[in-house]
């Protein structure tokens, strides 16, 4: 009996090791797909538009990427902790409502900022980047920034639920793949057309991400109010914590996109396109 028990334990341990290995392999494959999707997207954009328009698009994308993290106030880590706690301790409806109270106001604030930037897109394009052709398409695509912020926070919530691969799929893979495919299928060859297409796709991904988050959220809690002493604990969000998180998030994004932003100020759009593709290749 003892030998049979030891054999069963070894089988369970071996099965667990195989499960962990398969999980790591799948997670690695998803990350590789993310890199490949973004590289192919860059190539498709460069081949579909003129080199100047492609450079302008990558510059606008860099601006939106930095702005989306600024508008998100660096709340990804907070959302991960909040969802990890509430999904295990409060009913599904209450947990999702708490998350909505965070994400929806930020998206609305992002739309408010987008309206201001859209109305002043001409000044931004001509005075800052000295690129007159950027004005009209930027006035359209800038409304993507609110959706991109929402996608970041939805991805963080999925991470809090331990759906890491799904989070990567929503935040890094689906937009470049869908936009890249639609560029070819719809024969998009203008900067304004690509701006409208990108705007439409990112807002659809917000809806898709919200649906996946709702489906991923557990229906039953793992701990009860009795287990937590009658209190539903969740991480506190103070002004100091908010500023610290925002600073870290913005610094990370500036380190990633500063090259394209600086190039957009001092170099022609064609050089920005070459830089963008080169960075994704590296």
Q: What is the pLDDT of residues 151-181, one digit of tens each?
A: 999 999 999 998 988 898 999 899 999 999 9
Residue 225 confidence class, pLDDT cut points 50, 70, 90: very low
Confidence grade of residue 258 (pLDDT, cut at 50, 70, 90): low
Distance of CA 189 to CAs 106, 124, 273, Å? 33, 24, 15
Mean pLDDT (the chain) is 79
Instruction: Return the pLDDT at 231.
Output: 46
The pTM of the full predicted model, rounded to 2 decimals, is: 0.79
């Amino acid at each position: 009996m003892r030998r049979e028990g030891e054999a069963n334990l070894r089988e369970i341990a071996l099965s667990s090791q195989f499960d962990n290995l398969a999980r790591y392999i799948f997670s690695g494959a998803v990350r590789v797909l993310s890199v490949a999707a973004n590289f192919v997207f860059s190539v498709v954009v460069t081949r579909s538009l003129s080199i100047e328009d492609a450079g302008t698009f990558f510059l606008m994308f860099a601006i939106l990427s930095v702005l989306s993290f600024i508008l998100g106030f660096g709340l990804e880590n907070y959302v991960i902790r909040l969802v990890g706690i509430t999904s295990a301790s409060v009913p599904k409806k209450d947990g999702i409502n708490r998350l909505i109270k965070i994400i929806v106001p930020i998206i609305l604030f992002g739309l408010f900022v987008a309206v201001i930037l859209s109305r002043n897109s001409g000044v931004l394009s001509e005075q800052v980047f000295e690129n007159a052709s950027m004005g009209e398409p930027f006035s359209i695509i800038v409304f993507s920034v609110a959706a991109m912020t929402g996608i970041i926070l939805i991805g963080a919530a999925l991470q809090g639920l331990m759906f890491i691969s799904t989070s990567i799929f929503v935040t890094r893979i689906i937009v470049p793949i869908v936009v890249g495919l639609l560029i070819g299928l719809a024969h998009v060859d203008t900067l304004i057309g690509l701006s409208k297409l990108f705007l439409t796709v990112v807002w659809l991904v917000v809806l898709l991400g919200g649906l996946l988050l709702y489906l991923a959220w557990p229906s039953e809690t793992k701990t009860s109010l009795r287990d937590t002493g009658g209190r539903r604990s969740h991480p506190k969000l103070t002004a100091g914590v908010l500023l610290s998180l925002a600073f870290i998030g913005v610094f990370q994004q500036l380190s990633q996109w500063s090259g394209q932003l600086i190039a957009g100020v001092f170099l022609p759009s064609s050089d920005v396109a070459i830089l963008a593709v080169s960075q994704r290749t590296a």
